[in-house]
A = this chain, B = another copy of it.
Amino acid sequence: MSFNLIIQNISKYIKLDEGEEQTFIKHLSTKIIKSKNNLLNGGEVCKYSTFVIRGCLRGFTFDKNGNEHVQDFAPPDWWIADMYSLITQKPGNINIEALEETEVILLSKTSQEELYMQIPKLERFFRILTEKSLVANQQRLMDNMTLTAEERYHIFCNRYPTLIHTLPQKHIASYIGVTPEFFSRMRTKTLKK
């Protein structure tokens, strides 16, 4: 069944019994996004927490010069959303795009809140998930302020060894916060070692 992966993902932090699993699954839907299509556009209200089961998504924003900046990648087994927009239900500025054909599970905001009431353990799950996100984000912020681009690139390579070879370089460049040109120079330099 196609919900195996998400059930397994949740079971990392909480245990659902048979009935709870069924209740949970009733709130889910699936969707396939074609390569280069958007699951969410900047300016829209984000209505779903999204869980990737196949393919890969990327969340990004445009700055005032029209340059893209990657906020996060979501390979299989990852959650993604425009958290600001999801929480406030106001229009956000995050675009979520499929880097290849991608299959996702959608959990609507209203379903999520109903589930918090029906299965309080799920509130625990999302609390823990959010805590982990926060810690990762804090670390990334500090890395951006204290490390050189080259050091951040090494960290990225260690943290996402599988993504390095599948992602276009420009997206990795954007994630670590440099231009594609500079990223290219950096790579040729470190390749020589």
Interface residues of chain A, those whose CB is within 8 Å of chain B, are 61, 63-64, 67, 69, 71, 83-84, 87, 116, 120, 123-124, 126-127, 130-135, 137-142, 144-147, 177
What are 21 A-B pairs with beta-carbon distances under 8 A?
A: A61-B142, A61-B146, A63-B146, A63-B147, A67-B146, A69-B142, A69-B145, A69-B146, A83-B131, A83-B138, A84-B139, A120-B123, A123-B123, A123-B127, A126-B127, A127-B130, A130-B130, A133-B134, A134-B137, A141-B141, A144-B177
Given contacts A137-B137, A144-B177, 12 further A-B contacts (CB under 8 A): A61-B146, A63-B146, A69-B145, A71-B138, A83-B135, A83-B138, A84-B138, A87-B131, A120-B120, A126-B127, A127-B127, A130-B134
Contact check, A87 vs B135: say whether CB atoms are below 8 A apart: yes
Q: How far is the CB of A176 from chain B (nearest CB, A)?
A: 9
> A137 — which chain B residues lie within 8 A by C-beta?
134, 137-138, 141
Instruction: Please tell me how many copies of the chain the complex holds.
Output: 2
> A130 — which chain B residues lie within 8 A by C-beta?
127, 130-131, 134
Residue of A63, A127, A130, A145 most packed against chain B (CB within 10 A): A145
> A123 — which chain B residues lie within 8 A by C-beta?
120, 123-124, 127
> A64 — which chain B residues lie within 8 A by C-beta?
146
Complex: A40 Cα to B124 Cα, angstroms = 27
Which residue of chain B lies nearest to A144 when distances are taken between CB atoms in the complex?
B144
Q: How far is the CB of A85 from chain B (nearest CB, A)?
A: 9
Residue of A126, A130, A132, A147 most packed against chain B (CB within 10 A): A130
> A141 — which chain B residues lie within 8 A by C-beta?
71, 137, 140-141, 144
